[in-house]
A and B are shown apart, each in its own frame.
Chain A
Amino acid sequence: DTGVSQDPRHKITKRGQNVTFRCDPISEHNRLYWYRQTLGQGPEFLTYFQNEAQLEKSRLLSDRFSAERPKGSFSTLEIQRTEQGDSAMYLCASIGGEGLRPGQGAFFGQGTRLTVV
């Protein structure tokens, strides 16, 4: 257990429905990341928060995707009008603040497996 928890672990939804995932990072970590991973591929960066501010978004993050991190604690990732191409593992990672050596290594949660049928 890395200390990063994600909920739910699995989600099956019908095409066109909205889904929301939650990530609880390690409590003292101020930086939070969302990644997407499809079968046989490495994780791909989606977006990044420092505290409550969303500082960076990948071009992979279409208008149907939105992420929030209210009060700089947990984060949610919502996908609206899901498509079959959204089927993937959605991973959350957190990393500590300035006190930790840069690049110490992001700690990942177990992921949410999304299947769009």
Chain B
Amino acid sequence: EDQVTQSPEALRLQEGESSSLNCSYTVSGLRGLFWYRQDPGKGPEFLFTLYSAGEEKEKERLKATLTKKESFLHITAPKPEDSATYLCAVRTNYGGSQGNLIFGKGTKLSVKP
């Protein structure tokens, strides 16, 4: 069964303290791995799509990387406004429909000033 596991469940950082979030996946065939940011009471906000091992994407203080078994979201010198839940999702080979994403439970990030 396709599965996405995110760790840690929660992460508390001091402002400026860099760290990484992990997303490990077990799928029959990966057609894309996605990172989203979700603020409380709001819908997920799209961040990155990664397609193949070795691929990297960057946006401001965030950098996403992908291997054959997992993805990392690296946060460099985080600020309090980076506090949110970060969701990882995968799209697999079968199912056919674009966007039928399987989500992990997310990592809740808190950045203290």
* Interface, chain A (partner B; CB < 8 A): 2, 4, 6, 31, 33, 40-45, 48, 50, 55-56, 91, 93, 95, 102-111, 113
Contact = CB atoms under 8 A, between A and B. Distances in A.
Given A31-B98, A55-B97, A103-B32, A44 B103 contact: yes
B54 interface: no
Interface residues of B, number: 29
Nearest to A6: B43
Interface of B: 4, 31-32, 34, 36, 41-46, 48-49, 51, 87, 89, 91, 95-106
B95 A56 contact: yes
26 contacts: A2-B46, A4-B43, A6-B43, A42-B103, A42-B106, A43-B44, A44-B103, A45-B101, A48-B100, A50-B97, A56-B96, A56-B100, A93-B43, A93-B99, A95-B98, A102-B31, A102-B98, A103-B98, A105-B46, A105-B49, A108-B43, A108-B44, A109-B43, A110-B42, A110-B43, A111-B42
Contacts of B31: 102-103
Most chain B beta-carbon neighbours within 10 Å: one of A2, A93, A106: A106
